[in-house]
A and B are shown apart, each in its own frame.
Chain A
Amino acid sequence: MLKDITLGQYFPGNTVIHRLDPRTKLLWVVLFIVGLFQANGWAGYALVLLVTALVMALGHIRPKNIFKGLRPMLFIIILTAALNLFYTSGTPVRPGWIVTWEGIARAVKMILRIVLLIAGTFLLTYTTSPMALTDGMERLLSPLKKLHFPVHEMTLMMSMALRFIPTLIEETDKIMSAQKARGADFENGSLIQRAKALLPILVPLFVSAFRRADELAVAMESRCYHGGEGRTRLKQLVMARRDWIALALGLLFLAAINVLRHFGL
């Protein structure tokens, strides 16, 4: 079933990580990614790995869920690893082999880097509801409003897209079943035949997506929606003490990575 795809899914919960302000978590992800790309020695990678494991434990996110999300990226991960394995010069593992010790080290680091990058962003979406996420983003980007950048409109678009992804997936499932009941075959045939077979899904899907968009627009207008200007919020975001502590830890993490990097560890 299409529905079983984990697509930046949210796992509701009430752990420390869940309760952090979305802004804190967004900033943490930025710090995390910068740290991850600065790490170049094994000690640095170990630290990033440790931090990831710690957040997973605190947020009650099982490794299984992270690995499930990694599956669609498997091809890219393997390809990158293979390229690094075969195209890094250095001392061959055995005389005459193309695979070098340096290549192995680079491949392993590359895999770690991609896996950790994805794991970090998954931890954010697993522990933060889409609404909180876009709220946090809007607040973080709000200085850009001074430059007439449509921050509110952008984040509204994002939250709508997030809101409608499950609906559209469900709808695709339904339309696919209905066409299968009329003997449509999506699995066999040549590439062209299979591309053609998508038409009976895409047409109804687009028709219904436009209908939904239309209905949503009417619903918003009839409730007097008029853009972001002067809007107040039901749920105010407040930075608590734990948020400041978390941010301090984030900076500490980045500093530690840089110290390790300085010593080539």
Chain B
Amino acid sequence: MSEIIVEELRHVYSAGTPFEKTAIENISLRIPQGQFVGLLGHTGSGKSTFVQHLNALLQPSSGRVLVGGTDINKDKKTRHDVKWQVGLVFQYPEYQLFEETVFADIAFGPKNMGLGREEIEERVREAAGFVGIEEKLFNESPLELSGGQKRRVAIAGVIAMRPGVLILDEPTAGLDPAGCRQIMENIRAYQRQSGATVLIVSHNMDDAARSCGRLIVFDHGRVAMDGTPEEVFSRPRELISIGLAVPQATALAMELRALGVKLPEAIYTHEQLLAAVKEVRGC
């Protein structure tokens, strides 16, 4: 099992220089296996710094991170091996593609795990399937694909390691609406079928509302809110004061309520709003 426990995590960049900067502090969280978690927060609030601690790419300045009960920073080996358990897809991951073919690039992670050829091939096919990359692209150069395709290949490269925890840093940044929707659907499908924990950093409130069972809101390196979408989006004023927004459906529902339409409290997706309006109109 890959339950994540974070205790009193703090990270200081460039400690001891004039450029010293505390990026995150006082973060304590428990993320059980199988949750679909959204990380929200304004630019520079420390989301990327936080997620890089979960697979030991960054070491805490103080505090601990436990995955499946072991301190991942215990020694060099745990720091290395946690990468198979916690897969991290960076922001704009397409810039990390380097192999000659799509297949080889997706296979890079599994190959580093020391798996056999057949196992690697099976995993590559499976991962490509999850993100909707067809097998006829396997022999193309990843550098010649479209932006959206590159993004999927990069995500497949991490999924191919079959991590128990999948973290994606703004996976839909810079894609067109159709591309965004597809990638979010791929991720949801992966979560359903594998039972993995998924953490997704997002600036898109609608995506977060639709997909996540839990939202964690960062503000200036600290956790400002942590709860279900209902709980978080029922505090729109706080969200707006820390530079975020509520989903469009929630905003619209708020305006309708101000006009005197009687709507229930928890509305944060289009479907819920539509259902509520239908109910009010009695059809």
Q: Which of A's residues lie within 8 Å of B, judged by CB?
A: 1, 3-4, 174-175, 177-185, 199-200, 203-204, 207-208
How near does chain B come to A156, taking the closest CB pair, in angstroms?
A: 27
Known contacts A1-B14, A181-B88, A185-B112; 9 additional CB pairs below 8 A are A4-B14, A4-B17, A175-B95, A179-B108, A181-B158, A182-B108, A183-B83, A183-B109, A204-B96
A181 near B90: Cβ-Cβ < 8 Å: yes
6 sampled A-B residue pairs with Cβ under 8 A: A3-B14, A179-B96, A181-B55, A200-B98, A207-B95, A208-B95
| B84 part of interface (Cβ distance < 8 Å) | yes
How near does chain A come to B157, taking the closest CB pair, in angstroms?
A: 6
Cβ contacts B128-145/A at 8 Å (1 or 0 each) = 000000000000000100
Tell me which residues across on chain A come within 8 A of B161, comparing CB atoms: 182-183
- Which of B96, B108, B109, B143 has the largest count of A CB atoms less than 10 A from its CB? B96
A185 near B158: Cβ-Cβ < 8 Å: no
Instruction: Give the residue of B57, B113, B143 whose beta carbon is less than 8 angstroms from that of A181.
Output: B57
Cβ contacts B156-167/A at 8 Å (1 or 0 each) = 011001000000
| A-B pairs with beta carbons under 8 A, tally | 57
Q: Which residue of B lies closest to A182 (CB)?
A: B109
Tell me which residues across on chain A come within 8 A of B158, comparing CB atoms: 181-182
Q: Which of B's residues lie within 8 Å of A, judged by CB?
A: 14, 17, 52, 55, 57, 80, 83-84, 87-90, 93, 95-98, 108-109, 112-113, 143, 157-158, 161
How near does chain A come to B252, taking the closest CB pair, in angstroms?
A: 38
Tell me which residues across on chain B come within 8 A of A174, comparing CB atoms: 90, 95
Q: Which residue of A lies closest to B56 (CB)?
A: A180
Q: Which residue of B lies closest to A3 (CB)?
A: B14
Tell me which residues across on chain B come within 8 A of A185, comparing CB atoms: 80, 112
A182 near B98: Cβ-Cβ < 8 Å: no
Given contacts A178-B90, A185-B80, contact A199 B98 (CB under 8 A): yes
B96 near A175: Cβ-Cβ < 8 Å: yes
A182 near B52: Cβ-Cβ < 8 Å: no
- Which of B55, B83, B87, B93 has the largest count of A CB atoms less than 10 A from its CB? B83
In the bound assembly, the distance between CA atoms of A219 and B241 in angstroms comes to 37
B98 near A183: Cβ-Cβ < 8 Å: no
In the bound assembly, the distance between CA atoms of A184 and B55 in angstroms comes to 13
In the bound assembly, the distance between CA atoms of A4 and B83 in angstroms comes to 25
Tell me which residues across on chain B come within 8 A of A175, comparing CB atoms: 95-96
B143 near A207: Cβ-Cβ < 8 Å: yes
Instruction: Give the residue of A3, A178, A208 whose beta carbon is less than 8 angstroms from that of B93.
Output: A178
A200 near B57: Cβ-Cβ < 8 Å: no
How near does chain A come to B143, taking the closest CB pair, in angstroms?
A: 7
Tell me which residues across on chain A come within 8 A of B14, comparing CB atoms: 1, 3-4
In the bound assembly, the distance between CA atoms of A168 and B97 in angstroms comes to 17
Q: Which residue of B lies closest to A199 (CB)?
A: B98
B95 near A181: Cβ-Cβ < 8 Å: no
Q: Which residue of B lies closest to A179 (CB)?
A: B96
Tell me which residues across on chain B come within 8 A of A4, comparing CB atoms: 14, 17
A180 near B57: Cβ-Cβ < 8 Å: yes
Given contacts A174-B90, A182-B83, A182-B158, contact A204 B98 (CB under 8 A): yes
In the bound assembly, the distance between CA atoms of A180 and B59 in angstroms comes to 14
- Which of A178, A204, A208 has the largest count of B CB atoms less than 10 A from its CB? A178
A184 near B87: Cβ-Cβ < 8 Å: no
Tell me which residues across on chain A come within 8 A of B88, comparing CB atoms: 181
In the bound assembly, the distance between CA atoms of A183 and B93 in angstroms comes to 15
How near does chain B come to A13, taking the closest CB pair, in angstroms?
A: 11
- Which of A3, A4, A180, A183 has the largest count of B CB atoms less than 10 A from its CB? A183
In the bound assembly, the distance between CA atoms of A180 and B55 in angstroms comes to 10
In the bound assembly, the distance between CA atoms of A207 and B99 in angstroms comes to 12
Instruction: Give the residue of A177, A207, A208 whose beta carbon is less than 8 angstroms from that of B52.
Output: A177
B57 near A177: Cβ-Cβ < 8 Å: yes
- Which of A180, A181, A204 has the largest count of B CB atoms less than 10 A from its CB? A181
Q: Which residue of B lies closest to A183 (CB)?
A: B112
In the bound assembly, the distance between CA atoms of A207 and B90 in angstroms comes to 18
